[in-house]
A and B are shown apart, each in its own frame.
Chain A
Amino acid sequence: MKFNFATILAGVLAATPLAAQSVDDFPTKAMTYIIPFNAGGESDVSARFQQSEWEAVTGQQVVIQYQPGAGGAQAWSQLNSLPGDGYTIMGINMPHTILQPLAGSVGYATEDLTPVHYFHYTPNAVIVRKESEFETLEQLIEYAKANPGMATFAGSGSNSANHLASVQLNDAADIVTTYVPFTGTGPSITAILGGQTTAGFNYATSGVSQGDEIRILAVASEERMPAFPDVPTFKELGYDIVGGAYRGVAVPDSTSEEMRQKISDIVSEINSQPAFVEKMEGGGFVLTDVGYADMDEFVAARTEEYTEGAKALGIIE
């Protein structure tokens, strides 16, 4: 990439020396931010929110590119072949990067990836459409108890955060429900709105965009969310379910330690911009601030949790 810039700008120069750039000056040109999913999902939207603050924080722009495929695995399996100069970063998601390698050969292992910052998560939420007979989670659970298997939950994908949450709820409430995977949040919310399924496991972010058209019965956050002060958490209702999809920024493994820290700091600083916080929280995202220093511990804790989840999903023995 460096190379292309040099050639084109001058038009004559064959190459400019890749002089060691000091981390302090970083970045001195536009950065590339690869999103391993299609546009329009939570990963894209949160990255676009970051993008609008990026120039103010770093002095340079960031270019967002999409590399969708195989639920993100296509991009993650290529992460380490990208240049490790700090100018190319990639979105990274959990539980995807833990469950995918457990489920099958996807071209990377969880420990191959180098996340430098996890900046937010979108809690799972049980959603019904406004016409639904269910007003509370208890009513839905009673229905499921009385009619084993008949309650259907739309969700985004197999072996996903939504899928995991539905298995956790089955377990915690001792019920049998049917999880119906869709190709993403959009199709899944369409199925809920259209009444194709009884309810849905989705991310709380959908609650913001759909407004009064849907009802959120419970969210899987630690505390009630600013965007939905009236919606109880699973914990309040007596089910120990906290989780959702965590999203962060990763770099190729050839990136230097200083650069990893630097990028982590940039993401951290964007996380504290008032305009960013307002957009994210208003949109139903829950900000986290897991920097590079705390990363190993964070990933280890999640790995343990999701490996348990993988057993519940039947992915591993």
Chain B
Amino acid sequence: MDVFGYLLNALTPFNLVLALVGVALGTVIGALPGLSATMAVAVLVPFTFTMDPAAGLIALGAIYTGAIYGGAYAAILVNTPGTPSAIATTFDGFPMAKRGDGGLAVSLATLASVSGGIVGAIALLLMAPPLAAVALAFGPTEYFWLAIFGLTLISALSVGNTMKGLIGACIGLFLSMVGVAVVGGDVRYTMDMQRFLAGVDLTSAIIGLYCIPVILDLVATRDPHLKPSETGGLRLAEGFGLAMKRKFNIIRSSIIGTVIGILPGAGGSIAGLVSYSEARRASDDPGSFGKGNPDGVVATEAANNATVGGGFIPTLVLGIPGTPPDAIILGALLVQGIKIGPTLFSNDAPVVYTFIWGLLIATVLMLPVGLLIGRYAYNSIIKVPKTLLAPTVALMTIIGSFAIHSNVEDAQLMVGLGVLAWILNRYGFQPSPIVLGLVLGSIAEQGFVQTWLIGNATQQLPGMFFNRPISIGIILAAVLTLAFPLWSEWKSRRRKQLEGSGSPLSDAGLNIPAAVKTRDVPSMVIAGLFILLGIWIYTLAGAMSPLGSVFPKTIAVALIGLSVVLIVQHLRRPAGEPGEGVAFDAGAKRRLALAAIMMGWVIFMPMLGFLVSSFIAFILIMLTANFEPRPPRTWAIWILAGAVICTGFWWLMANVLLLRMPIGLFF
């Protein structure tokens, strides 16, 4: 039977139902930050033992692809990536939602995700064995340069604020080093606290860094969370038109996503970041990226869903899982008695091809399912009053960070980092460079140390780093990304000059003074603290093995150097107007109250139990976020809603996801 013959096997009613339910379930799970595709797939694996292998795989694959897509909702609507794959979706998705284009952003994300998913699945269907060679062509050197390429995106993300962006990246890179080092085996920067042994959890950090500042701003003013859209709904027709205009972006991003998906250990977050960066470079208007350019959403979402199909390529062809959900699916196949590896496509062709068709069908079903769920999610975020929205989003952040390891310490870290991120953000240190450093740090470090070890052993160190064809390609792309903003700036200045040269009056135009940047004392204080942090990092690195200390020392030196430059920059600026300090207004009070409630919530959770602490915090945040007097009846309904929401999520976690819940005094 040829490849297309298996399509009929995949089209049985049972398989279609599995694909439909899988995608819907996955989308909902993916939309909730912290509840990951890995978790959902892991819980459901035992149910597939009794199914036909292809049917079981279709269910798992549908959940996986749905979850990667669902991550976009939280990214667009509350600025929090529902899965790490959606990090770059926040850059433009949330600004779009803020200005009233949230529905449009959801439509675009859906169309892009479906397109990307289809490209990835078709690559898996038609070209899996040859493409698997890509996974093998990538050695430690290529991973190192890929991570560096990802980091160059910082220069684009922090235009006009490069120093602070780079310092933020160093902080992220430092956070990525905490814990037991894979390479070298050193225990680094845990301060002898057991909670840091496993390092800073990426998902908790993302939730804290992106979402806590949003909630803090949410309670501070009476403005609605998102500007309501003028036309309402998801504006599907408009979205379709915009997507058609961006077909090259979609195709490019889908291909990038497929290829990066093939690389084991790279994953959806890097695919999203790289294609975002490429979309920005290819754009006529790179300056609007990060301010709500639909191209940013399209690029990221097409790429991250393409990684699903791409990730299955090394999993099925080489037996090397591309991503954690792939690894679980691999285990499920082994239990079914199916031998993964080079012979799979010939020996078990019916299972493999039926599954791939099923994945393709699930991806197509994502369009109606996604638009339906997306419409509901968007409308709830728009319509739910702030008094109820703020505590619900806060509950989601706690659940998300807790659920990853059933560990309250992750939730504590999340709140701590979130408050810190809000303060840093206020003084111009944005969260995205920190997150980029955290995501890419360990890949960069491992790639670097492995390359160094191999290069040193074979006595061709420079060649290892700079003389491998794929590496050279990635380095060139990185240099282009770095140089592009400078070049385009130069070009536009040049154009102005040329235009001006024809007109005698033009000189005046060139002399308009730039907005005077004044000295910013808090930024200098923060930079001073970072210098101390850098010294601490460097000092502790002295006691580590040579392998484990290279990276920390490099980062420490960079952090200290950049912070000194920042302080010098500010010293050379004129002092600002005095008295523009922090006004302790009502908004600030509400923010402080919220931060205190969140802190108390995670501190007392182990003592009071999840349900009790969450319900108390829910009510307190409701009071904090309320701006108008309400009749007792409204309060009663809202409190009841709070109780239902808290209990519902508690039940879901304890009995469906089977997490170990903190029990404490009550339950």
Contacts and interface: CB of A to CB of B under 8 A. Distances in A.
Interface in A7-24: 7-8, 15
Interface of B: 38, 42-43, 45-46, 49, 135-140, 179-187, 192, 194, 197-199, 264-265, 314, 318-321, 324, 326-328, 330-332, 334-335, 337, 339-343, 405-406, 446, 450, 453-454, 456-459, 547, 651, 654-655, 658, 660-661, 663, 667
Contact of B658 (A32, A41, A193): A32
B197 A77 contact: yes
Interface string A131-152: 0000000000000000001111
A67 B406 contact: yes
Given A67-B405, A211-B343, A183 B182 contact: yes
Interface string A186-213: 1101110111110000000000111111
Contacts of A224: none
Nearest to B334: A45
Contact of B335 (A52, A65, A194): A52
A52 B330 contact: no
A69 B327 contact: no
Contacts of A189: 320
B340 A209 contact: yes
Interface in A43-67: 44-45, 48-49, 51-52, 61, 63-67
26 contacts: A3-B663, A5-B655, A39-B42, A39-B321, A49-B334, A63-B46, A69-B179, A69-B199, A74-B198, A74-B405, A77-B197, A104-B186, A150-B457, A150-B458, A157-B185, A158-B184, A159-B185, A181-B182, A181-B183, A186-B265, A186-B320, A191-B139, A196-B454, A208-B339, A210-B318, A279-B334
Main secondary structure of the interface of A (DSSP, over half): mixed
Given A52-B335, A61-B46, A64-B42, A70 B324 contact: no
Given A70-B179, A70-B198, A105-B187, A8 B655 contact: yes
A4 B140 contact: no
Top 5 A-B residue pairs of the complex, sorted by shortest distance between their CB atoms? A40-B327, A69-B198, A158-B185, A194-B136, A178-B457
A87 B229 CA distance: 52
B331 A45 contact: yes
A103 interface: yes
Contacts of B199: 69-70
A32 B655 CA distance: 12
A194 B138 contact: yes
A38 B331 CA distance: 11
Interface string A152-182: 1000011100000000000000000010111
A106 B7 CA distance: 51
Nearest to B314: A190
A7 B667 contact: yes
Given A196-B139, A209-B340, A210-B341, A44 B327 contact: yes
A157 B186 CA distance: 11
B197 A70 contact: yes
Contacts of B324: 38-40
A122 to B, nearest CB: 14
A107 B407 CA distance: 15
Contacts of A213: 318, 341-342
A41 B320 CA distance: 10
Nearest to A4: B654
A283 interface: yes
A3 B321 contact: no
Contacts of B343: 211
Contact of A39 (B179, B182, B318, B328): B328
Contacts of B458: 150, 152
Contacts of B660: 1, 32, 82, 88
Interface of A: 1, 3-5, 7-8, 15, 32, 38-41, 44-45, 48-49, 51-52, 61, 63-71, 73-74, 77, 82, 88, 103-107, 149-152, 157-159, 178, 180-183, 186-187, 189-191, 193-197, 208-213, 279, 283, 315
Contacts of B459: 150
Contact of B265 (A49, A67, A187): A187
B471 to A, nearest CB: 12
B452 to A, nearest CB: 10
Given A149-B457, A157-B185, A178-B453, A209 B319 contact: yes
Contacts of A158: 181-185, 547
A152 B332 CA distance: 33
B660 to A, nearest CB: 7
B287 to A, nearest CB: 38
Which of A41, A44, A82 is most buried by chain B, counting CB atoms within 10 A of its CB? A44
Contacts of B185: 103, 157-159, 181, 315
Given A69-B198, A186-B264, 19 more contacts: A4-B661, A15-B667, A39-B331, A40-B331, A48-B45, A48-B331, A61-B46, A63-B43, A63-B658, A66-B38, A70-B180, A74-B405, A103-B185, A150-B459, A180-B450, A186-B327, A209-B341, A210-B319, A213-B341
A104 to B, nearest CB: 4
Nearest to B328: A39
Contacts of A197: 454
Contacts of B265: 183, 186-187
Given A158-B185, A186-B264, A49 B335 contact: yes
Nearest to A7: B667
Contacts of A5: 655
B645 to A, nearest CB: 17
B49 A52 contact: yes
B212 to A, nearest CB: 23
A209 B339 contact: yes
Contact of A4 (B314, B337, B655): B655
Contact of B194 (A77, A186, A208): A77
A133 to B, nearest CB: 15
Contact of B180 (A65, A106, A194): A106
A181 B663 CA distance: 40
Given A150-B458, A181-B182, A40 B46 contact: no
B318 A193 contact: yes
Contacts of A152: 453-454, 457-458
Contacts of B342: 210-213
Which of A64, A189, A212 is most buried by chain B, counting CB atoms within 10 A of its CB? A64
B260 to A, nearest CB: 15
Nearest to A278: B337
